[in-house]
Amino acid sequence: MNTVGTSTKTASERLAQTRRATARLSARQRGVTLVELVVTLVVASITLAIAVPSFNNLNASANMRSTATDLISAINGARADAVNLRGQVTLRPITGSDWSSGWVIDYSSGTLNEENREFLPARGVTVSEESDIASLVFLPNGTVNTQARFELCGPNDGRLIDVSRVGRISNTNQSCP
C-alpha cells in the first residue's frame, strides 16, 4: 500500500514514462530553422564588421613597434660591437640611401668572424633619415660620426628616433602626414 500519495506507479514506470517523453521531444527537434540560421549569420557578420578594423589598427601598431625596435636594436648593436671589437662598425641602408628598404650592420674588413646583419622594416612602415645621411659609423669609443634623426611612419602613427653624437638614442611618438 502506498502511504505517501495516491499514485500507484512505481519508480521504474515513472522513469520509463520520462524517457518516452524525452524521446518524443528529441525526435521533433532534429535541426535548426532557417530563421535561427539567418539570425546567427547576421550576428556573426556584425561581430566581424566591428572586429576587422580594430584588428587592422592593432596590426599596424604592432608593425610600427617592431620596426622601431629593430632600428633601435641595430643602432645599439652596432655601437656595442664597435666598442667590443675595437673597430669601426657601420650602420647603413641596404640599398643606396633608402632606409625603407632595410638597413645592415656592416663590419670593417679587419673584423674577424663577424657577418653583416640585415634588418627589414615591417609591412606598411616607411623609414627615412631627415638629413639624408648615407650611413652611421660607430667608432671604437662608442661615439658616432654624425647625429641622425630617423622618421618612421605607418598608417596610424609614427616614431621619431634621434641618435646623438655620443650614441644616445631617444624615441618619441609623432603623427605622420
The band of 25, judged by pLDDT with boundaries at 50, 70 and 90, is low
pLDDT at 71: 94
Q: What is the pTM of this model?
A: 0.69
Residue 66 sits in a domain whose CATH number is: 3.55.40.10
Q: What DSSP string runs through the chain?
A: ---S-S----HHHHHHHHHHHHHHHHHH--S--HHHHHHHHHHHHHHHHHHHHHHHHHHHHHHHHHHHHHHHHHHHHHHHHHHHHTS-EEEEEEETTEEEEEEEEEE-TT--S---EEE-PPTT-EEEETT--S-EEE-TTS-BSS-EEEEEE-SS-EEEEEE-TT--EEEEEE---
Total domains, the chain? 1
* pLDDT for the residue numbered 111: 59
**pLDDT confidence of 97, banded at 50, 70, 90?**
confident
In a domain, 22, yes or no: no
Would residue 111 count as lying in a domain?
A: yes
Question: pLDDT class for 49, splitting at 50, 70, 90?
Answer: confident
pLDDT at 141 over 90: yes
